[in-house]
Amino acid sequence: MFTRDGAQWHYLDTGATAQKPGAVIDAMGRALGEDYATVHRGVYSRSAEMTRAYENARRTIAAFLGGQESEIVFTRGATEAINLVANTWGRANLKAGDRIMLSQLEHHSNIVPWQMIAEATGAEIDVCPLTDDHQIDLDAAEAILTERHKLVALCHVSNVLGSVLDAPRAAAMAHKVGAKLLLDGCQSAPHMPVDVTQLGCDFYVFSAHKLYGPTGIGALWAHGDILDAMPPWEGGGAMIDRVTFEKTTYAPAPQRFEAGTPAIGEAIAFAAAAGYVSDIGLDRIHSHEADLVTRLRRELGAMNDVTLYGPAGSAGIVSFAIDGIHPHDLGTILDEANVAIRAGHHCAQPLMDYLEVPATARASFGLYSTHEDIDALLEGIARTRRIFGKA
């Protein structure tokens, strides 16, 4: 990749958002240009064609996850998808005395909605600790879980540590006590094959922009019987069956949860992104990124002033800290050399508290990442050391 002036640019922040391939940009351009019309409303041919394209996008995303198209709800992203579950399934099924289990490494988007719904319903939250190598401690979770737990909401892959959850085991543990399992798949869907049936989860959420697609759209997958039983959240056009001032009836799922004019072009580009990575192969992408992770962890691990976070087998992410150098300073100096990393708390402040650090530096890989990017990062770290008098 290159900067606007043609210099080499080393993008190591795919965990925040992925760069977009031409296939996605082209699909978005066509959807907003020569193909554009509204969906689900017009009787003219272009509207009908756009409606087919929009619903085909739903079918593509469902197939990408191993689900059915009737089980996919388009949302503005994973954050809205979690809020949707909290405010529909949560309000209908949680009451005072019930419990929700989260983990220490969750993104704020998988913490705050549950805190809000717990406050509204009287439910309580338990936090599962981590193992010594910074994975969700499922042995501890199993000891904590009781029949009072109604929901377990866990990150499939940590956005800070890259640690991969044993999702089938988590699902079996949750179901054993009668709880549902929600997986935050933002960092798993772009990096490894995902089959919701094999994972055993009840809800799965992810965002398009981390899957090389556009911002402003994501998806909730849920079992059809669960979606059918969930009440609507937002009211308005598209989610209704019949409206009178006396009573309104609602469309079946998933349309019941998609009020208003949808993100039409974004959905079509989302599907293009899913098709793009599927054509390359998620196994191939995962293997490529694992090779990069292994090398960077080896190089950083040889430095006696570097602390590495997360397990050795992390998925596409390496978080670290250098003694005496704040991650923000490192990120700023690296930017001068056209190396882009993430530095901060990564929307995971409880995890930073757990690790007893204010922030970490994070290099995160994508299918376009190369060993040359790692070379540039290591050269930038060496330069930062010299600037701080640590050569």
pLDDT in tens, 198-211: 999 999 999 999 99
What was the pLDDT predicted at 119?
Answer: 98
In 48-64, which positions are buried (b, 16+ CB within 10 angstroms) versus exposed (e)?
eebbebbeebbebbbbb
Phi, psi (5° rounding) for residue 384? -65, -40
For residue 16, give the DSSP letter. Answer: T
Q: DSSP code of 209?
A: G
Strand partners, 319: 309, 362
96 three-class SS: coil
pLDDT digits (tens, 9 = 90+) for 60-85: 999 999 999 999 999 999 999 999 99
Model-level pTM?
0.96
pLDDT band at 43 (very low <50, low <70, confident <90, very high): confident
CA dihedral 188, 339, 212, 284 (to 10 degrees): -60
Task: Give all domains of the chain, ordered by start, each with its CATH number.
Answer: 10-20+281-387 (3.90.1150.10), 22-279 (3.40.640.10)
Q: Within 10 Å of residue 289's Cβ, how many Cβ atoms?
A: 24
Length of the chain: 391
Residue in 128, 155, 201, 347 annotated catalytic: 347
> Is it the case that residue 137 has pLDDT exceeding 90?
yes
Q: Please tell me the chain's helix, strand, coil percentages from 3-state DSSP, rounded to the nearest 5.
A: 45, 20, 40
One-letter amino acid at 326 equals H
End-to-end alpha carbon distance in the chain = 29
Tens of pLDDT, residue by residue over 251-290, are 999 999 999 999 999 999 999 999 999 999 999 999 999 9
- One-letter amino acid of 100: I
**128 catalytic, yes or no?**
no
What is the pLDDT averaged over residues 138-161? 98
- pLDDT at residue 82 in the model: 98
According to the model, what pLDDT value does residue 3 have? Answer: 81
Q: Outline where DSSP puts E strands in 223-316.
A: 240-243, 248-250, 306-309
Query: Tokens standing for 45?
Result: 């041919």
Measured between alpha carbons, how far is residue 155 from residues 98, 152, 249, 250, 261 in Å?
21, 10, 35, 32, 30
